[in-house]
Structure 1
Amino acid sequence: MRNVTLAQVDALPVAVLPIATVYPPGHLLVWHEHRRAQFLYAATGTMLVETDHGAWTVPGERAVLIPPDRRHQVRMLDVETNSLYIDPAAAPWWPTECRVVEVGPLLRELLLAASDIDPRDGLGDRNRALLELILHEASRLAEVPLHIPIPRAEPFAGLCRRYLADPDLTVGNADWAREAGVSERTFTRRFREEAGMSPAAWRSRARLLAAIPLLHHQSVTEVAARLGYATPAAFSYAFTRAFRTAPSRLHTSSRHDPAGLTLINHS
């Protein structure tokens, strides 16, 4: 199915609903939740996913697994998606928190084929087998650590969400402590308790996540300079250390990126 809403088909008596959607640039799916688990695959572009617990950046040709009944919002940056909405009983292995995963060539093609399935017309043996195979493949995917925690308590949550929306290299612990109305030492201690890392380490990771959509249109050298790194090599080292993949693998301004990955156009 293409460009239909979940509400139109959610009541169908099928375990897996495949829906492909093209979104306008910058489109925001505001806070919502659904009873089905969601396998949200970015065929193109970048998705920014937030829950009450954290934020996930999903580059093209990756997917995010969203648990059922989990409140979330998604910003779509030039995105075409292939989604699966899955009855929880059909995937007891589904994670309890969002997870970004690599999607290989086989699963990419299966998801593309599934977008032509319309369960409103009934599921034949082939389509049923195809959807079952997709679930099997999805249960074996490797996680990519493109995630940052968001503290639940204020003022930490508000400070973090504002920083994610507009990372600023000039902001420091003293600025955040002043806004929170406490000493820098107290702020740093409480932030570490809430987020599991220091405020400086959190902001550094947030800036690296902000690099991902930039790499879709800019070179590694340009992104490194924009984020305040002294050299492209320093940026590449920090990025690879944080996310276990080189930034050059996400630079997709040409048909083939510098790492030799083929870009799939599903339009």
Structure 2
Amino acid sequence: MPASVSGEELERLHEQRVLWLERIEGPVVALPTEYPDGYLVPRHSHSRSQLLYASTGVVLVTTDAGRWMVPPEHAIWLPAGVHHAVEILGAVSMRSIYIAPDARDGLPTHLHVVTLTDLMRCLILEAVTLDDNPPPGSRGSLVIGLLLDELGNLPEQPLGLPFPADPRLAALCRRFIEEPSPHATIDEWAAALAMSRRSFTRSFQRETGLSFSLWRQQACLFAALPRLADGEPVTSVALDLGYDSVPAFTTMFKRMLGVSPRFYRSGVLVKGVGE
């Protein structure tokens, strides 16, 4: 899907691809796609699981259960049958691996973001150059087999932002995403819902699977990553999000992603750049 075509043409080509994926045989299908900044891949699902990797740019995946950010050097695992839409943040070179549910025992069953190993990154880039359904024993078949083995070695990252089912709590979460702040407190949210602190804490954990503090940090991270990927200075992003200092923002960022926010620049993770 070339980035130069119109949004309407991209949508038509996307619909054709989903239909094609349902017809093609073989355990693994690898496809490259180029998307322009701001494009929205419409909500859809497929019978294969998908390992979605954006080699450049950032994507935001939305499902009924929440939203997941996929920054550079990461990928998202979408189990078969999960309805999802994909928002493109910056020009994105997407590489997707579609895997049949019976391709390998023990495939993950939950949606999550992973950090790519150097080996997996190379295997993905190689897989998209292969012919569909390579014969057993061929080089292509060996690449696909190693790719399936390497799935189990990908470290999971807490880059999901699950949404609660309770409409009042969900409304608070949506308002927070529109104006994230590291200073929001449990007491403020509990008071807004006329709940005790203890009841709110239990309810939030039950509804989202996360503590309020972790959910708040991830929401702030969601707001920061696209801006950092566009090349905005770390200082302006940190202060706009309400952090008292750049070191405080950097500490949160490194705790969540394991790298400094200065590693993110123009949609590409630049290795070897100091803080």
- Which TM-score band (shorter chain)? 0.7 to 0.9
Aligned residues of 1:37 and 1:67 also touching (Cα < 8 A): yes
1:192 CA displacement: 4.3
Can you list the C-alpha shifts for 1:215-253, whole angstroms capped at 9, x where unaligned? Answer: 11223222212211111101011222233333233x124
Gaps of 5+ in 1: 262-267
The answer to whether residue 170 in structure 2 is matched with residue 157 in structure 1 is yes
Counterpart position of 1:123: 134
Point out the more displaced range, 38-47 or 236-245: 236-245
Residues in 2 aligned to 1:96 and 1:152: alpha-carbon distance in whole angstroms = 21
> 1:229 aligned to 221, 243, 249, which one?
243
Q: Which letter maps to 1:144? A: Q
Point out the more displaced range, 147-156 or 2-11: 2-11
Residues in 2 aligned to 1:252 and 1:31: alpha-carbon distance in whole angstroms = 29
Aligned residues of 2:113 and 2:158 also touching (Cα < 8 A): yes
Distance 1:223-1:145 versus aligned 2 partners, 3 A rule:
same
Counterpart position of 2:81: 69
Counterpart position of 2:8: none
1:211 CA displacement: 1.1
Residue aligned with 1:57, SS: strand
Distance 1:118-1:10 versus aligned 2 partners, 3 A rule:
farther
Residues in 2 aligned to 1:60 and 1:228: alpha-carbon distance in whole angstroms = 25
1:171 CA displacement: 7.1
Once the two structures are aligned, what percentage of the paired residues are identical? 36
Distance 1:106-1:194 versus aligned 2 partners, 3 A rule:
closer
1:18 CA displacement: 0.6
> 2:208 aligned to 188, 195, 219, which one?
195
Counterpart position of 1:60: 72
Residues in 2 aligned to 1:238 and 1:256: alpha-carbon distance in whole angstroms = 18
Q: What RMSD in Å do the two structures reach over aligned CA positions?
A: 3.0
Aligned residues of 2:159 and 2:218 also touching (Cα < 8 A): no
The answer to whether residue 46 in structure 2 is matched with residue 34 in structure 1 is yes
Residues in 2 aligned to 1:253 and 1:151: alpha-carbon distance in whole angstroms = 33
1:60 CA displacement: 1.3
TM-score, normalised with respect to structure 2: 0.79
Aligned residues of 1:248 and 1:259 also touching (Cα < 8 A): no
The answer to whether residue 35 in structure 2 is matched with residue 20 in structure 1 is no
1:187 CA displacement: 5.5
Counterpart position of 1:51: 63
Aligned residues of 2:52 and 2:75 also touching (Cα < 8 A): yes
Point out the more displaced range, 1-10 or 26-35: 1-10
TM-score, normalised with respect to structure 1: 0.81
1:62 CA displacement: 1.2
1:149 CA displacement: 2.5
Aligned residues of 2:58 and 2:267 also touching (Cα < 8 A): no
1:126 CA displacement: 2.0
Residues in 2 aligned to 1:105 and 1:204: alpha-carbon distance in whole angstroms = 27
Gaps of 5+ in 2: 3-12
Aligned length: 256
1:10 CA displacement: 2.8
Aligned residues of 1:207 and 1:227 also touching (Cα < 8 A): yes
1:172 CA displacement: 6.8
1:163 CA displacement: 3.7
